[in-house]
Amino acid sequence: MTVTKNDRLTVFVEDLTHDGQGVAKVDGYPLFIKGALPDEEVEVHVVKALKKYGFAKLIEVLKPSPFRVAAPCPVFETCGGCQLQHLSYEGQLMVKEKQVRSAMERIGKLHTTVLPVKGMENPWRYRNKSQVPFGMEDGRVVAGFYKSGSHEIADTPTCLIQSEAADRLMVALKERALEFGLQPYDEKTGQGQLRHLVVRTGYVSGETMVVLVTKSRKISQPEKLIQLIREIEPSTVSIVQNINPARTNVIFGEQNFVHWGKSHIVDSIGSIQFEISARSFYQINPVQTQVLYQQALDYAELTGEETVMDAYCGIGTISLFLAQRAKSVLGVEIVPPAVEDARRNAVLNGFDNATFEIGAAEEVIDAWYEAGQLPDVVVVDPPRKGLDGKLIDTLIMHKPRRIVYVSCNPATLARDLRLLEDGGYTVHEVQPVDMFPHTTHVECVTYLTI
C-alpha cells in the first residue's frame, strides 16, 4: 500500500521515537504520530508523506494502551516541556528501559544486561531549577515553556514538574512585570526588557534564588520589586539580575548583579554541600542525582587506595562523591567557571584529595598519563554527544582497569561502549535512572573492565 498525504488510516502503534511520537508501520512504511502510545490501535490523518517515512495526526484512539492516562497538566498538548504525561509512570519506565536496551543492541551490537529503570516514588515537582521565558500575547504578559518545536510560549498557570516556589513567582511576575518597567522581550524585534525568570531551589537547604534575565540593567522601583519577591517567596536568599543584550536565544548573558542577599544558594547531595550560583551547572533532579551518583560510586568499587580521574567533572559533583572513598581524585572540565566552582566546593567540604584542571578531557588526561599520573579508575560523564574520539583512543591506549560511564544519551553511550569493547574492554550491566519523569530522557550508568 502506498501512503499519501490526506490518507485516513487505522494503524497499530509499535513503538515510541526518542521525542515521544508513536511509530506505526503501513507495509513497512513508518508513520510518526504525536500523542499515540505503543500497543494502541488508532485512526490517523496523514499530514506529510515523504519518500521513506511520514507524519500523521491522531484522530481517535480506537483501542487504548492499558498504560494510557489523562495528562494532569492543562497545557500538556501544546507545551514542549513534557512528552509523556499521557503515559502512566509505570509505562514510562518500561518505555525507557526498552529505549536503552534497543540502543545497546541496535547501535552498540551489545548483549549486556539492561536493568530495570530506577524511578521516583513521587515523579512530580522534581525540578530544582526552572527557566521560564516571558512574552506578550493579545496585550497581556504570558510565561511558560515553549510550545513543541517552536519559540512560541505556551502560557502556563502552573507547571507540575517545577517547584511550587517557581510557580508562585512566575504567576506574580506575569501580573506585576509591567509595574516595574519589565516589558517582555520580543525575540523577533529585539525589543523589550524581561527575557526569562530563573528560579533555583535548594532541595535540602530550602533556599531559593531568583534570577531576572533582562536586556539591560534598567528596572523601575527595584526596591519595591525586591520586596514583592521576598513577600511571595520567603525562602528567597538571593535576588540576581543577569544582563543579556544579545540577539540570541541563549538564556544568560555575561553580567550578573546581586540586588539582594547572597550570590549563591547552598544545597547538598548526600553529605556533600555545593554552592550554586546563577549560572552554575547543577543536576536538575536532586533526589535522582543521589541515586545516579551512588550507582556510579558503587560501580567504581573504591577501597580508599585508588587514584580516580573524572572527565567532564563540571562543578565537582561526582568528583567529590568519589573523593569520599578514593585516595585521590583528578577532575577535568573545559568550562573555567565550573572549575572555579569545583575547587571552591572541595574547600567547602574539606576535601584535600580532589584537584581540578581546566581543559579538554582528552588533552588533559593524556598529559596526566605522560606525567606519570596513572589512574586506577576513570569516570566519564560527557554531554549528549558522548565521548570525544581522542579520549576513547587515550583510554584504550593506556587501559585503566575500570571505567565508569555516566550517560545522558543511550544512543551515544551504545556507540562509545562498542568502541571501548573493540579496544579490549568488557561492558558490564547498564543501570538506567529516570532523572526526568514525563519526558523521553533517561540517564544511564555502566562500568567496563579490562
Q: Of 145, 115, 123, which is closest to residue 69 (Cα–Cα)?
A: 123
d(CA 447, CA 271): 24
CB neighbours (10 Å) of residue 86? 24
Residue 72 φ then ψ, to 5°: -75, -20
Determine whether the annotation assigns residue 185 to a binding site: no
d(CA 223, CA 270): 37
d(CA 163, CA 83): 19
Determine whether the annotation assigns residue 381 to a binding site: yes
Strand 41-49 and strand 208-214: pairing? unpaired
pTM (2 d.p.): 0.93
Strands of the sheet containing 140-143, edge to edge, are: 140-143, 129-137, 194-201, 208-214, 236-243, 255-261
Look-up of cell digits 517515512? 53
DSSP 3-state assignment of 411?
Answer: helix
Phi-psi region of 435 (alpha: psi -120 to 50; beta: other; left: phi over 0): alpha
Cell reading at 46: 496523514
**What dihedral do alpha carbons 188, 192, 194, 196 form, nearest 10°?**
10
In this predicted structure, what is the pLDDT of residue 373?
Answer: 82
> Which burial class, exposed, middle or buried, applies to 370 when counting CB atoms under 10 A from its CB (0-12, 13-18, 19+)?
exposed
In this predicted structure, what is the pLDDT of residue 320?
Answer: 96
Residue 246 sits at the vertex; the CA angle it makes with 242 and 247, to the nearest 5 degrees, is 130
Amino acid at 223: E
Determine whether the annotation assigns residue 283 to a binding site: yes
pLDDT in tens, 145-184: 999 888 899 999 999 999 999 999 999 999 999 999 999 9
Give yes or no for a contact between 352 and 345, defined as CB atoms under 8 angstroms apart.
Answer: no
> Which burial class, exposed, middle or buried, applies to 53 when counting CB atoms under 10 A from its CB (0-12, 13-18, 19+)?
middle
Give yes or no for a contact between 309 and 330, defined as CB atoms under 8 angstroms apart.
Answer: yes
In this predicted structure, what is the pLDDT of residue 364?
Answer: 87
In this predicted structure, what is the pLDDT of residue 370?
Answer: 85
The full set of domains in the chain, from first to last, is 7-63 (2.40.50.140), 96-121+285-449 (3.40.50.150), 129-269 (2.40.50.1070)
Residue 113 sits at the vertex; the CA angle it makes with 112 and 119, to the nearest 5 degrees, is 135
Ranges of residues in the chain whose predicted pLDDT is under 50 = none
In this predicted structure, what is the pLDDT of residue 43?
Answer: 98
In this predicted structure, what is the pLDDT of residue 415?
Answer: 98
In this predicted structure, what is the pLDDT of residue 175?
Answer: 96
Taking the CA atoms of 297, 354, 306 and 403 in sequence, report the sign of the dihedral they define. Answer: positive
C-alpha 148 chain-centroid distance: 17
Give yes or no for a contact between 40 and 68, defined as CB atoms under 8 angstroms apart.
Answer: yes
pLDDT in tens, 66-104: 999 999 999 999 998 999 999 999 999 999 999 999 999
Taking the CA atoms of 127, 133, 134 and 138 in sequence, report the sign of the dihedral they define. Answer: negative
Amino acid at 86: H
Among this protein's residues, is 408 annotated catalytic? Answer: yes
In this predicted structure, what is the pLDDT of residue 149?
Answer: 82
Residues 6+ apart with CB under 8 A from 142: 134, 135, 136, 153, 155, 174, 184
In DSSP notation, 253-271 reads -SEEEEEEE-SEEEEEETT
Look-up of cell digits 501544546? 78
